[in-house]
């Protein structure tokens, strides 16, 4: 077994000795691409979302220098008809780009180092084949002489773009190296049976073209058939919670929220595992990298970025055009580029049907709050502090103070510029009551009585706080909101809650630009 060629199955063996969620069906997907025009696969995910786990698993399965049958027989891949056909049948090149970066005295020599070290190891494995100076030529010569094709696995393929983001010449040298392996159709088909690349970012674009265009890409914007391998599915998390005595609803609140066209509920795998190991919910994934990485991007002076962050902190979804992003961290031209980058980094999730982004869960929301309250967005930080006071004033029934606070939130940019309908008013309310997410679960358009309650904040389990039922009115007398609630019997529909209910009516008068508020408490015995 070598360092880069046929590294064995020790990495996957170690993974399966602890808690392991069976993702081996990914192997069946890759088996279906072997030797076809779809044989080049690039998967991009945020850090700590299992990229290296998948790479080690594939190495263990294909590597002909080891026997991995017993290792895989207990997992789902063993039931697939392709299992026996390709098990431990190939020479596997496994290149971890972060490894090369960490050992290089000068990052500018990385590409030359990779080429020299890997070429030498391949030549040592096949000493009877003429030694070539270029890795792609070496692989081709081996394939020509022996008939053996390679499977190439490149982990963290984009690390070089991230670590040397201001060195375009190095980027170009690296792209040419990859093209030598994967772009020369005549050579590639003869020497490579399949390739699997992982990274945080998709393959860099030059204009509208991919730098290595023959790869099939599966990203956080469009994971397609590989959505269920992007993180943990809801069923997988339910089973983990059942086996380990964890509260599933809390797990969902903290780590769910990544949403794809084929799968609407995907969890952050790193954080789920850490919560189980520590028997405690909290921020785990975000601690693996300082919040400065998030702060850098949300402080960029792009038009509309501050307003977008405000709306997302309030639970809103922001429409974006993800197509202009060049898949690097330097070609940031507009707000949509920033938000698209944050999707790939895992700080936002993308709804393909709505073509909009939003903050996925409590763990990430806390990271956003930390970044904005300690950064340059002082107005946003002030809004967050005001939100705490607003909740106190609402609970105390201080109608004038509540109206004034919502008016201030509107004036500070908590809603779109077209503040001329009830939806815009709803946007303000979401943000004004931002602090409620710590103690409440928010529901909108909740079926209740004879109609729909605009916004309902349900206290979380074991809370003594009252339920908040907020009814919105546009250019109508605020008392009408409370009357509507009573006439439609909203409190009766929520009687199963068992505790007190605060009826909060909020109205906006377009001509005067004034907000008004009415609050009534409905007391219920617990």
Mean pLDDT of 80-93: 97
Candidate from 80-89, 293-302, 427-436 with smallest mean pLDDT: 293-302
**What confidence score (pLDDT) does residue 417 get?**
45
Res. 329 pLDDT band, cuts 50 70 90: confident
**What confidence score (pLDDT) does residue 185 get?**
65
* pLDDT score of 290 more than 60: no
Where do the CATH 3.40.50 domains begin and end in the chain? 10-218
Task: Write the CB contacts of 127 (distance below 8 Å, at least 6 apart in sequence).
Answer: none
- CA distances in angstroms from 230 to 363, 400, 475, listed in the order given: 18, 48, 46
Q: Taking the model in full, what pTM does it have?
A: 0.83
Under CATH, to which class is 407-522 assigned?
alpha beta
Under CATH, to which class is 10-218 assigned?
alpha beta
Better-predicted residue by pLDDT, 481 or 44: 44
- CA distances in angstroms from 218 to 126, 303, 409, listed in the order given: 34, 30, 40
pLDDT digits (tens, 9 = 90+) for 51-60: 999 999 999 9
Where do the CATH 3.40.1350 domains begin and end in the chain? 407-522
pLDDT digits (tens, 9 = 90+) for 240-266: 999 999 999 889 989 999 989 889 899
pLDDT digits (tens, 9 = 90+) for 99-147: 999 988 899 999 999 999 999 999 999 999 999 999 999 999 999 999 9
Mean pLDDT of 499-526: 83
**What confidence score (pLDDT) does residue 204 get?**
76
* pLDDT score of 416 more than 70: no
**What confidence score (pLDDT) does residue 306 get?**
75
- Edge-first strand listing for the sheet containing 356-358: 318-319, 356-358, 349-351
* pLDDT score of 307 more than 80: no
- CA distances in angstroms from 282 to 207, 225, 241, 437, 459, listed in the order given: 41, 31, 15, 15, 19
Extended strands (E) in 141-245 = 150-155, 192-199, 205-206, 209-210, 216-218, 232-233
- CA distances in angstroms from 117 to 99, 114, 160, 374, 518, listed in the order given: 12, 5, 17, 45, 73
């Amino acid at each position: 077994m070598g360092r880069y060629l046929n590294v064995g199955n020790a990495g996957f063996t170690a993974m399966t000795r602890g808690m392991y969620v069976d993702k081996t069906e990914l192997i069946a997907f890759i088996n279906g691409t072997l030797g076809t025009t779809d044989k080049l696969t690039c998967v991009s995910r945020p850090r700590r979302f299992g990229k290296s786990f998948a790479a080690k698993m594939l190495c263990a399965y294909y590597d002909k220098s080891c026997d991995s049958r017993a290792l895989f027989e207990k997992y789902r891949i063993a039931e697939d008809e392709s299992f026996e056909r390709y098990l431990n049948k190939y020479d596997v090149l496994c290149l971890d780009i972060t490894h090369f970066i960490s050992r290089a005295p000068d990052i500018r020599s990385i590409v030359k180092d990779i080429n020299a070290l890997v070429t030498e190891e391949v030549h040592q494995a096949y000493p009877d084949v003429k030694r070539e100076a270029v890795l792609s030529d070496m692989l081709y010569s081996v394939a020509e002489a022996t008939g053996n094709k390679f499977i190439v696995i490149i982990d963290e393929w984009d690390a070089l773009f991230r670590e040397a983001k201001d060195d375009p010449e190095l980027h170009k040298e690296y792209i040419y190296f990859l093209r030598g392996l994967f772009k020369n159709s005549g050579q590639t088909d003869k020497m490579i049976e399949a390739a699997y690349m992982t990274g945080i970012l998709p393959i860099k674009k030059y204009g509208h073209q991919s730098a290595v265009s023959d790869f099939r890409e599966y990203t956080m914007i469009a994971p397609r058939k590989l959505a269920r391998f992007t993180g943990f599915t809801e069923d997988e998390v339910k089973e983990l919670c059942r086996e380990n005595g964890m509260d599933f609803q809390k797990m969902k609140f903290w780590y769910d929220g990544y949403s794809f066209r084929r799968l609407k509920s995907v969890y952050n795998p790193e954080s789920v595992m850490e919560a189980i190991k520590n028997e405690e919910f909290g921020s785990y994934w975000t601690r693996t990298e300082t919040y400065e990485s998030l702060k850098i991007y949300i402080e960029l002076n792009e038009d509309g970025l501050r307003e977008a962050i405000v709306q997302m902190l309030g639970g809103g979804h922001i429409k974006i055009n993800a197509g202009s992003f060049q898949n690097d961290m330097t070609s940031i031209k507009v707000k949509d580029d920033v938000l698209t980058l944050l999707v790939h980094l895992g700080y936002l999730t993308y709804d393909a049907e709505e073509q909009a982004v939003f903050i996925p869960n409590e763990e990430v929301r806390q990271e956003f709050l930390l970044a904005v309250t300690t950064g340059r967005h002082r107005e946003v930080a002030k809004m967050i502090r005001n939100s705490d006071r607003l909740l106190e004033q609402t609970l105390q029934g201080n109608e004038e103070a509540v109206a004034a606070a919502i008016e201030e939130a509107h004036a500070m940019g908590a809603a779109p510029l077209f503040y001329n309908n009830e939806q815009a008013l709803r946007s303000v309310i979401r943000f004004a009551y931002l602090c409620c997410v710590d103690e409440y679960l928010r529901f909108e358009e909740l079926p209740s009585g004879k109609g729909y309650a605009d916004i309902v904040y349900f206290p979380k389990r074991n809370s003594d706080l009252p339920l908040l039922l907020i009814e919105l009115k546009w250019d109508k007398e605020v008392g009408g909101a409370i009357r509507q609630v009573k006439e439609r019997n909203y409190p009766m529909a929520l009687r199963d809650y068992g505790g007190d209910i605060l009826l909060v009516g909020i109205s906006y008068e377009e001509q005067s630009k004034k907000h008004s508020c009415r609050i009534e408490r409905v007391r219920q015995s617990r």
